[in-house]
Chains A and B, each alone.
Chain A
Amino acid sequence: MLKVDVAGLELSPPLVLASGILGVTAKIMARVSEHLGAITTKSVGARRREGYPNPVVCPLPYGLLNAMGLPNPGIDYFEEVIREFKKLSKKPIIVSVIGSDSPEYVSSRAEEAGADAIELNVSCPHAGGLLELGMDIEQVRRIVRDLKSILSIPLFVKLSPNIQDIGKLAETCEKAGADGITAINTVRAVKIDLLSKKPLFKSIYCGLSGAAIHPIAVRCVYEIYEKVSIPIIGVGGVVNWESAVELILAGASAVGIGTALTQDIAIAKEIASGILEYMRSEGFKSVSEMIGLAHKR
Chain B
Amino acid sequence: MLKKVGRVEEATEVSSGIYLLRISCPLKEPYPGQFVMAQPPGLEEIPLSIAGYSGGELKLIVAAVGETTRALCRMDVGDRLWVRGPLGRGFSYMSRKTAVAVAGGVGIAPLIYLVDARKREGLKTKLVAGFKSRVGGKLIQLLEDLGDVVIATEDGSIGAKGDAVSVASSMITRSSMVFACGPEPMLRKVVDLCMSVGAAVECSLERYIKCGVGICGACLIEGEEVSMRVCADGPVFDGETIVKLSDFDKLALDRSGCKVPLHGGCPSR
Contact = CB atoms under 8 A, between A and B. Distances in A.
B45 A25 contact: no
B52 interface: no
Interface of B: 1-3, 5, 37, 39, 41-42, 44-46, 80-82, 84, 210-218, 220, 222, 225-227, 229, 232, 253-259, 266-269
Given A25-B222, A198-B42, A72 B213 contact: no
Contact of B84 (A22, A25, A59, A77): A59
Interface string A26-67: 011011000000000010000011110111111111001010
B215 A54 contact: no
Contacts of A24: 216-218, 220, 253, 257
Given A54-B44, A57-B211, A71 B227 contact: no
A159 B115 CA distance: 52
A73 B214 CA distance: 20
B109 to A, nearest CB: 19
Contacts of B225: 27
Interface in A240-288: 258-259, 261-262, 265
Contacts of A48: 256, 258, 266, 268-269
A149 interface: no
Contacts of B258: 48, 73, 77
Contacts of B211: 56-57, 66, 68
A57 B216 contact: yes
A50 B256 contact: yes
A54 B67 CA distance: 13
Contacts of B45: 54-55
B5 A195 contact: yes
Contacts of B3: 58-59
30 contacts: A24-B220, A25-B217, A25-B220, A25-B253, A27-B222, A27-B227, A28-B217, A28-B227, A48-B268, A48-B269, A49-B256, A50-B254, A50-B256, A51-B256, A54-B37, A54-B46, A61-B2, A64-B213, A66-B211, A71-B257, A73-B256, A73-B257, A77-B268, A195-B5, A195-B82, A196-B41, A198-B42, A259-B215, A261-B215, A265-B229
Contacts of B220: 24-25, 27-28
A198 B39 CA distance: 14
Contact of A72 (B84, B210, B215, B256): B256
A72 B266 CA distance: 11
A88 to B, nearest CB: 9
A197 to B, nearest CB: 8
Given A50-B255, A71-B257, A261-B214, 8 more contacts: A24-B217, A27-B226, A55-B45, A56-B216, A59-B3, A71-B255, A73-B266, A194-B5
